[in-house]
Amino acid sequence: MSGRVAITEGDIAAQEVDAVVNAANASLILGSGVAGAIQRAGGPSIQAECDAKGSIEVGSAAITGAGDLSARFVIHAASMPLGGSSTEESIRASLEASLKLAVGHGVRTLAVPAIGAGVGGVPEKRCAEILLEVARVVQEGPEALDEVRFVLFGEPTYRVFEMVNDSAKVAAQMARLKQTR
């Protein structure tokens, strides 16, 4: 089975998917950026569930209900400590943990933000490279979801992800061409 990886510009909190991923801190305190958008649209029950769970490890993920969102779940990808920064390793690990939670909870469609960019401090291009690589590996494997949709706020971030994705497609096509010679 092979699942789809999609890239779109928009509001992650408005996506009609089984689950949305929150670019979270390890304290699971919803603040600004993606977390703030999810909290505003989803209501206070999401933070209440986060409070009940308590802190998690950087590089891990936790799942809660989605409150008033159209999604069933919010998966909180903890790529940084509260008040800290993300690293390439924590971005990779938190998305991998999020995808495992998604599979374990029967999620078929998942909306993912630019985890680690923005407040996290990782350059958008590097963030896109890591996140798209992790998603492609999972989507080509036996536990693929129907769709992993990167939902990016603003055209500049969308364009960076689009460029990185197109570059990977070209590289894969060139590798296939070399094999046929």
- Which CATH number is 85's domain given? 3.40.220.10
CA–CA distances in Å: residue 97 to residues 90, 175, 177: 10, 29, 34
Of residues 131 and 167, more confidently modeled: 131
* Cα(9)–Cα(157) distance, integer angstroms: 8
| pLDDT for residue 118 | 86
| pLDDT for residue 149 | 97
Mean pLDDT of the region 10-32: 95
* Cα(96)–Cα(153) distance, integer angstroms: 22
Tokens of 147: 């769709």
DSSP result, 118-140: GGG---HHHHHHHHHHHHHHHHT
| pLDDT for residue 49 | 97
This prediction has a pTM of 0.93
Q: Helix-strand-coil percent breakdown of the chain, rounded to 5?
A: 45, 20, 35
* Domain count across the chain: 1
CB 40 within 8 A of CB 13: yes
Domain that holds residue 134: 4-180
